Amino acid sequence: MSILKWIKGEEPNIIEKIIFMFTHDFDSGAYGEYLTEYMFNNENIEGYFKSLHNIYIPYKGKTSEIDVLLIHEKGLFVIESKNYSGWIFGSEDQYKWTQVLNKQNKNKFYNPIKQNETHIKALSQYIDTDRKQMISFIVFSERCELKNVPEDTEQYKILRRHHLLRELRKELNKRESVFTYEDIKDIYDSLKPLTEVTEKVKQEHIERIKAIK
């Protein structure tokens, strides 16, 4: 842990990290989402906003799960968290990307650009908001190296977690406010129940993800 980041409120302290991992069955995916959402608090971002995580949005008879959502007055920032190590390879059009841990250990995973775009389509439809107000952030762990991935576009950014605040602030600085306090509250209130779904819904979603993998 970087002491400076802890002092600045960008990372939890070591005790908070241990407690989270212990109480979440050492789930590395949940841990990555926790670290990402933690960055949004502690006065790290200017402007009015709210955040949510693990939002199960109904979409085409199934569910689409958003890892972390920042509902900011300047837009909706949809975060797909990938708490991976190793080398990461993939293009915008490939169905599967590759994680390389060593010569003998390579794993395939669903293209996170396509994955998060589905989340955004589901979100846009559910809250009836223009896609133009949303941007995709694909956030990888600091433990990986992005060896060959697409360059950033106006629709998506691909980065490691320790660069998230820097890139998010850049994006906020060039945007105008599009949501009022009431808009943000309405969006938050409409999505909050979708973070409290039953275990059955969660399990069905997990099974569909496994089928894709």
pLDDT digits (tens, 9 = 90+) for 138-179: 999 999 999 999 999 999 999 999 899 999 999 999 999 999
126's tokens: 């559910």
**pLDDT value at position 167?**
93
pLDDT confidence bin for 209, thresholds 50/70/90? low
Give the closest residue to 34 by CA, choosing from 18, 53, 14, 49: 53
Provide mean pLDDT across the span 9-27.
73
- The sheet carrying 96-102 orders its strands as 105-110, 96-102, 86-89, 144-148
Our measurement of the distance from residue 159's CA atom to the centroid of its chain's CA atoms, rounded to an integer in Å, reads: 11
Ranges 42-46, 105-109, 183-187: which has the least confidence? 42-46
Mean pLDDT lowest among 38-47, 167-176, 183-192? 38-47
Statement: residue 196 has pLDDT above 90: no
Averaged pLDDT for residues 180-206: 85
Per-residue pLDDT at 41: 76
Does residue 210 surpass a pLDDT of 90?
Answer: no
**Cα–Cα distance between 184 and 167 in angstroms, integer?**
22
Secondary element (H or E) of residue 16:
helix 14-23
Q: What is the pLDDT of residue 38?
A: 78
Instruction: Compute the CA torsion angle 10, 193, 124, 37 (nearest 10 deg).
Output: 10
Q: How confident is the model at residue 103 (pLDDT cuts 50, 70, 90)?
A: confident
pLDDT recorded at residue 19 = 79
- Average pLDDT in the 96-120 region? 94
